[in-house]
Every structure is written in C-alpha cells, then in structure tokens.
C-alpha cells in the first residue's frame, strides 16, 4: 500500500503527459489527412488552371481566325462543367478542413478561376455568336445567417436541377462573393447587387428572388 500512495500524485502527471502525446499525435494525423485532401484538390486545380490557360490561348487565336468560335464555346462549356463538378467534390472535402485552412485557400483559388471563366465568356460573346446562356450564381461563402444559408442551399439545388435539364444550353458558374476578389468586385459593381444570393443570367438579368426552375428558364436563350 505504501507504494500505491507514493505513485498517487505521479499518476496525474503521467496522465497529463500521455494525453498531450496522444492529442498531439492525433492533431498531426488530422493535419496530415487534411493536407492529403487539400493536395488532391490542388491537383484538380492545377489541371483546371491548365484548361483555363488553354482557353485563354484559344481566345487569343480569335483575333487571327474567327473559325475558332465553335472550339472556344465548346471549351468554355466543358471547362465550366469540369469546375462545377470539382466544386461539388470541394464542398465535400471542405467538411474535412477542421484544423487547417487549406481548403478555404483552395476554395478561394477556384473562385478566382471561375471569375476568370466568367470574364472569358463575356469576352467570347463579344467576338462569337453565343448559343448558350451564362448563369452566374453569386453566394456568400462565410455567411453565418441561417436564413441565408438555407436559401443558398435551396438555390444550389434549383440551379443544379436547371443544369441537369438544360445541359450544354447553359454555362453555370457558382462564385463566392465574399472572398474579397478585386476582379469579381469590379465585375459585379455594375449590377448594383444589394444582397446575396443572386443569379445573373447573360449579364442582363439579375435575379434576387428565385422561386422555381421554370422562372429561370424564362430568361435563358
């Protein structure tokens, strides 16, 4: 029993040290896991970036040869579909990001990419005849307001339904508006947007009150 009493106080420190070791080990595993997922997303991003650069190159070719319009339109649509699918994957991966902020950075980089795509489609429509509609969905990524979050959740579903129905007739670009991107801010300034979420169709119609897929279809080409 004497030995027991001697070890009495030591066990509190031993438990503390063991807890710190296990906790730090767990945190390191968590950080490693989050980094792995972030690397996966980065890989997607690099490929998407390459696709966008390719589209830019195509865009430059337009000044030389207007026959590239079809290729460019097709590339824009394919690229939009690709990054839309990646956005869905990113959304799932974002639930992984608890300790690090890697996923937030990846999300922001994708927003820049999507803004680039939007600018490019505007440029393309100046030079080529457009047979599809551009649907830009602007939402708030960091919003804490539950009403707004619920609204955005439903809007995403409506837009997803619209995309499924319309296929290549629409180019859907969802962009987070509160990531403080100068290019995006400059681009949206002319629309006088007062609240989010908002849908901009073909840079003409600004819809801030969405009730159905059918309502959106009225504004499409």
Partner 1 sequence: MDTITVIYLIYIFIGFYFLFLFILIYIQNKKYLYYYPKPKRDYSLSIVIPCYNEGATIEKTVKSVLDSGYKNLKKVIVVDDCSKDNSYKIIKELEKKYPKVLAVQTPKNTGCAAGSKNYGAKFVDTELIGFSDGDSFIEKGSIDKLVGFFNDEKMGSVTCSVLVANRDKFIERVQSVEYKVIKFSRKLLEFIDSIYVTPGPLGVFRKSAFDKIGGFDEKNLTEDIEITWHLQAEGYKVRMALLSRAYTVAPSTIKDWVKQRNRWNIGGLQTSIKYGRDWFRKGMLGKFILPFFVFSWVIGLFGLTVLAYRILKVLIFRLFSTTYSIQTQTSLIRFEDISLMPNILIFFGLVMFFLSMWFTLLSLFHMKDENRKGENFFVLSFYMVFYVMIYPIILISSFYKFLKGHRKW
- Binding-site member from 4, 64, 189, 192 for partner 1 (CB under 8 A): 4
* Per-position b or e across 198-213, b if 16+ CB within 10 A of its CB: bbbbbeeeebeebeeb
Centre a 10 Å sphere on the Cβ of residue 151 and count the other Cβ atoms it contains. Answer: 17
Backbone angles phi, psi at 108, to 5 degrees: -65, -40
98 binds partner 1 (CB under 8 A): yes
157 binds partner 1 (CB under 8 A): yes
x/- string (CB under 8 A) for partner 1, residues 16-55?
x-xx--xx--xx-xxx-xx---------------------
- Binding-site member from 108, 149, 168, 205 for partner 1 (CB under 8 A): 149
CA neighbor of 41 nearest in space, from 107, 99, 98: 107
Centre a 10 Å sphere on the Cβ of residue 92 and count the other Cβ atoms it contains. Answer: 9
Binding positions for partner 1, rule: CB under 8 A: 1, 4-5, 7-8, 11-12, 14-16, 18-19, 22-23, 26-27, 29-31, 33-34, 88, 92-93, 95-99, 146-147, 149-151, 153-154, 157-158, 161, 210-213
């Amino acid at each position: 029993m004497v030995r027991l009493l001697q070890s009495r106080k030591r066990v509190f420190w031993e438990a503390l040290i063991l807890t710190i070791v296990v906790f730090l080990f767990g945190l390191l595993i968590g950080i490693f896991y989050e980094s792995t997922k972030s690397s996966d997303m980065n890989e997607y991003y690099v490929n998407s970036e390459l696709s966008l650069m390719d589209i830019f190159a195509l865009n430059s070719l337009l000044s030389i040869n207007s026959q590239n319009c079809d290729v460019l339109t097709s590339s824009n649509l394919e690229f939009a579909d690709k990054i839309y699918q990646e956005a869905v994957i990113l959304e799932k991966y974002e639930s992984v990001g608890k300790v690090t902020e890697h996923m937030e950075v990846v999300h922001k980089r994708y927003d820049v990419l999507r803004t680039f795509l939007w600018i490019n489609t505007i440029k393309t429509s100046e030079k080529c005849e457009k047979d599809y509609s551009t649907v830009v969905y602007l939402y708030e990524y960091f919003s804490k307001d539950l009403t707004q979050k619920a609204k955005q959740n439903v809007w995403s579903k409506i837009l997803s339904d619209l995309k499924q129905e319309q296929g290549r007739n629409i180019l859907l670009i969802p962009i987070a508006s509160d990531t403080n991107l100068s290019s995006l801010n400059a681009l949206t300034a002319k629309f006088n947007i007062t609240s989010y979420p908002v849908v901009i169709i073909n840079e003409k119609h600004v819809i801030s009150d969405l009730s159905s897929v059918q309502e959106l279809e009225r504004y499409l080409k």
